């Protein structure tokens, strides 16, 4: 590897790496908070109804703990399943076309998906300027770029943000489903991106803001895993697999 993992600052160059693989929400686009808010709204509605039906106290979905540990960065239905399991709740799996009001894993996931699509349609998508500038710089240097996201809405978000042309390949929830690739923290989606770009994982960088994402990079034995700590969770990202942590990718532009 061409860099020291404990460096607080570094420059990604063609001497060190051939490709950089970016997560989407929270790394390229300011959609992570919107996702978290939609997850909270959906789960709180379900949990409140469940508390009423069972006569038990209502305990809401907590973004600082529940979202980060059970949902963030994972495929949608895995997030539903893992959070419910943390509360000792078992629901039928259901099917992909379950209506949003259906109390199944996939019904709840579809309910959240409707919420995020409504927000994207009504409010658009904001990008992180430092991230976009870094992508432009990498491409000028001849370094390949990819988006690796668990979201089925990845292309919709990229188009809304007008950055879909900045990446050589895209591995998202739709592609992962078609190829039957396990989601993060398994490394398979990132490894597929590296394969499509024709690069060795040791010559590729993974950029993530989620715990499950940095674990994915570590599990895939990539040359460098960069954590983006937009919520001040530097140490947690390091503990789960980030070699280097920044608060914004603009820090890597110098």
What are the residue numbers of the active site? 23, 25
User: Do the beta carbons of residue 29 and residue 157 sit within 8 Å?
Assistant: yes
Q: Alpha-carbon distance 95 to 97, whole Å? A: 5
Q: What residue spans of the chain are helical by DSSP H?
A: 32-54, 76-86, 105-123, 129-140, 154-161, 173-179, 188-197, 211-219, 234-239
Measured over the CA atoms of residue 204, residue 209, residue 215 and residue 216, the dihedral's sign is negative
Measured over the CA atoms of residue 147, residue 134, residue 200 and residue 68, the dihedral's sign is negative
Distance of CA 6 to the CA centre of its chain: 24
Percentage helix, strand, coil for the chain under 3-state DSSP, each rounded to 5: 50, 10, 40
């Amino acid at each position: 590897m061409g860099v020291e993992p404990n460096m607080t600052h570094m420059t990604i160059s063609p001497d060190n790496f051939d490709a950089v693989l970016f997560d989407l929400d929270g790394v390229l686009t300011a959609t992570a908070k919107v996702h978290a808010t939609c997850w909270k709204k959906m789960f709180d509605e379900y949990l409140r109804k469940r508390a009423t039906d069972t006569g038990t106290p209502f305990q809401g979905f907590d973004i600082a703990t529940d979202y980060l540990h059970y949902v963030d960065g994972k495929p949608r239905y895995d997030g539903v399943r893992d959070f419910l399991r943390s509360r000792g709740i078992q629901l039928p799996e259901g099917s992909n076309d379950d209506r949003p009001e259906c109390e199944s894993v996939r019904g709840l996931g579809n309910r959240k998906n409707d919420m995020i699509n409504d927000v994207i349609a009504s409010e658009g998508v904001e990008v992180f300027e430092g991230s976009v500038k870094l992508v432009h710089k990498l491409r000028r240097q001849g370094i390949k770029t990819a988006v690796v996201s668990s979201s089925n809405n990845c292309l919709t978000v990229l188009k809304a943000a007008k950055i879909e042309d900045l990446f050589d390949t895209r591995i998202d929830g739709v592609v992962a489903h078609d190829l039957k690739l396990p989601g993060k923290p398994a490394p398979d989606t990132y490894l597929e991106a590296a394969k499509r770009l024709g690069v060795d994982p040791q010559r590729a960088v993974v950029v993530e803001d989620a715990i499950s994402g940095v674990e994915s990079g570590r599990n895939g034995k990539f040359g460098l895993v960069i954590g983006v700590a937009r919520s001040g969770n530097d140490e947690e990202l390091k503990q789960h697999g980030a070699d280097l942590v920044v608060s914004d990718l603009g820090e890597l532009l110098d």
